[in-house]
Amino acid sequence: LYINYSYILKNFIGKNGITKNDLTKLKEKGIEAIRNLKKKKKELGFIQLPSKIREAKKILEFAQKNKSKYNNFILIGIGGSALGNKALFEALCHPFHNLLPKEKRNGTPRFFILDNVDPDVIEKFLETVSIKRSIINVISKSGTTTETIANFFIVLKKLVNKVGDPYYKGHLIITTDPKKGFLRDVVKKEKIVSFKIPENVGGRFSVLSPVGLVSSAFVGIDIIKLLKGASYMRKLCENEDIEKNPALLFALINYIFMKKRNILVMFSYSQKMSSFVDWFLQLWAESLGKNGFGTTPVKAIGTIDQHSQLQLYMDGPDDKLFCFVSVDKFESEIEIPPFGFDYLNNKKLLELLKAEEKATRTALKERGKPSITIHIPEITPYHIGEFIFMLEYATAIMGELLKINAFDQPGVERGKTLTKALMGEEKLKEERQKFLKEIKKYEESPYKV
């Protein structure tokens, strides 16, 4: 994996670009950030995750023993307890995995995620998918995530009705904090299979922990190679030379451009990487959007968004930095039959995809719009491990550069408190009364058209 940063340089894009000297000037800041992260290594558990091969082997062993027993793997989680799982599944499994017969899935279950509390979706899901033939992985670091617990209770009721007590326990896996929280208490009381999320690993940095590894192992992803790729990238990320450290380069480029460009567009020219863009959006926004800092990450997928967003990017406000995600080698090429359109005759679909990627990047460059490209050699567990760790470490470096804590999310807490108050949590009675007045005021407002 490498980053091509030619199209942020003045000698390529003109006045909107920077010079290599601008990057060099930040060398000391970058080195300080990396040294600070090294000092905090023990408290930043995500840095240790690539070394947890022994734990990954236990997960693999458990999955191999159990995956053929079930037709469905249902994950109940939200945010960092779902986005990475979806990204790994979509990148590394057959794009129509759930439509294949079991033998063509190598005996692995179909994979579903319940990550929202939309009642229409949950009800229709439970009407459609056989709970009796499912294994259910409930994931919450705190063990008290409101949406996850609500969905868990709904699914649990149906599961107990279908298979009975105590047999329902064999259909459950709980991934949560090793010591505390409601879900940990459930594990202890009911003797349910459990995997531990390290105390020093936050949700959005947890995809290489049991959070992401359990579901990946069940659907046949090589989680050992995934960790080995991350481990290789970790060595590069601790290098103090910008030219040898893609995470440092990524962070410094964003740090320089954020003063005038507060939007970061991640433009993936691989549909299989689409959900990794969603995963990155949470990682970047929730880690760095603090104290008035932060850039807004935006998702774009090539070629689809050439026909929706590109007009804005070409002729709209000049406030964006672009990050292309390019896969060098695809599994398929597919020849286009010669039924007309001479420029398409006997060309490959892959040639068209690559031509459109190059054309979009060049068109933006001609307008002086800065872009970098992350090149992934091929979509394999190893290279995806590199990709994940590089972006996690770059986010942590960015936190150091901005002098903010990239590992908390204080802005999210107020909404959680108000939700619990409105739902009737006993200790929030007073808050509830105030909130109900505010809701009434809003609902009775005359400002409606």
Question: Would you list the domain boundaries of the chain?
Answer: 2-38+226-402, 46-221
Query: CA–CA separation, 440 vs 449, rounded Å?
Result: 18
User: Quick one: tokens of 227?
Assistant: 């960790």
pLDDT at 299 over 90: yes
Could you tell me the pLDDT band of residue 387, with boundaries at 50, 70 and 90? very high
The pLDDT assigned to 240 comes to 96
Q: Which residues contact 431 (CB under 8 A, 6 or more apart)?
A: 417, 418, 421
Give the dihedral sign, CA 262/325/267/347. positive
| pLDDT at position 433 | 95
Q: Is 416 a catalytic residue?
A: yes
- 233-282 pLDDT, tens digit per residue, is 999 999 999 999 999 999 999 999 999 999 999 999 999 999 999 999 99
Q: How far is CA 13 from the centre of its chain?
A: 31
Distance CA 59, CA 193 (A): 11
Select from 255, 269, 341, 340 the least CA-distant residue to 305: 269
Q: Which amino acid is at 251?
A: A
pLDDT of residue 448: 94
**Helix, strand or coil, per DSSP, at residue 240:** coil
Mean pLDDT of 60-67: 97
Say what the pLDDT of residue 379 is.
99
CATH of the structural domain 2-38+226-402, one choice from 3.20.20.70, 3.90.1150.10, 3.30.70.100, 3.40.50.10490: 3.40.50.10490
pLDDT at 42: 87
Which residue stretches of 96-245 are H helix?
A: 119-128, 146-163, 182-190, 210-218, 223-237
pLDDT grade for 3, boundaries at 50, 70 and 90? very high
Q: What is the dihedral sign for C-alpha 236, 328, 283, 291?
A: positive
The CATH number of 46-221, from 3.50.50.60, 3.40.640.10, 3.30.565.10, 3.40.50.10490, is: 3.40.50.10490
**Which of 42, 65, 307, 403 does the annotation list as catalytic?**
307
Task: List, in order, residues 6 or more apart from 60 with CB less than 8 Å away.
Answer: 217, 223, 224
Mean pLDDT of the chain: 97
User: Which residues have a Cβ under 8 Å from the Cβ of 96 and sit 6 or more positions away?
Assistant: none
Q: Which two tokens stand for residue 48?
A: 């240790």
Catalytic residue among 25, 235, 260, 416: 416
Q: Which of 55, 90, 286, 392 is catalytic?
A: 286
Is 97 catalytic? The answer is no
Percent of the chain with pLDDT over 90: 99
> Residue 64 above 90 pLDDT?
yes
Block residue for tokens 């969905």: 151
Burial class (CB in 10 A: 0-12, 13-18, 19+), 243: exposed
- What integer pLDDT is reported at residue 49 of this predicted model? 98
The whole-number average pLDDT for the span 331-351 is 95
Residue type present at position 176: T
C-beta separation of 214 from 111 below 8 A: no
Cβ atoms of 50 and 234 within 8 Å: the answer is: yes
Residue 121 has a pLDDT of 98
286 is an active site residue: yes
Q: Tell whether the model's pLDDT for residue 41 goes beyond 90.
A: no
Residue 278: the pLDDT is 99
Residue partners of 377: CB distance under 8 A and separation at least 6: 1, 327, 328, 329, 383
The pLDDT value given to residue 368: 98
The residues, ordered by sequence, that sit 6+ positions from 38 with a Cβ below 8 Å of its Cβ are 238
Question: Are the CB atoms for 346 and 189 separated by under 8 Å?
Answer: no
Residues 6+ away with beta carbon under 8 Å from 342: none
Residue positions counted in the chain:
449
- 180-196: string of b/e by CB count within 10 Å (b at 16+)? ebbbbebbeeeebbbbb
Contact yes or no for 224/53 (Cβ under 8 A):
yes
pLDDT digits (tens, 9 = 90+) for 79-104: 999 999 999 999 999 999 999 999 99
Contacts of 259 (CB under 8 A, 6+ apart): none
Radius of gyration in angstroms for the set of CA atoms belonging to the chain, rounded to a whole number: 23
Cα torsion angle, 392, 393, 394, 397, sign: positive
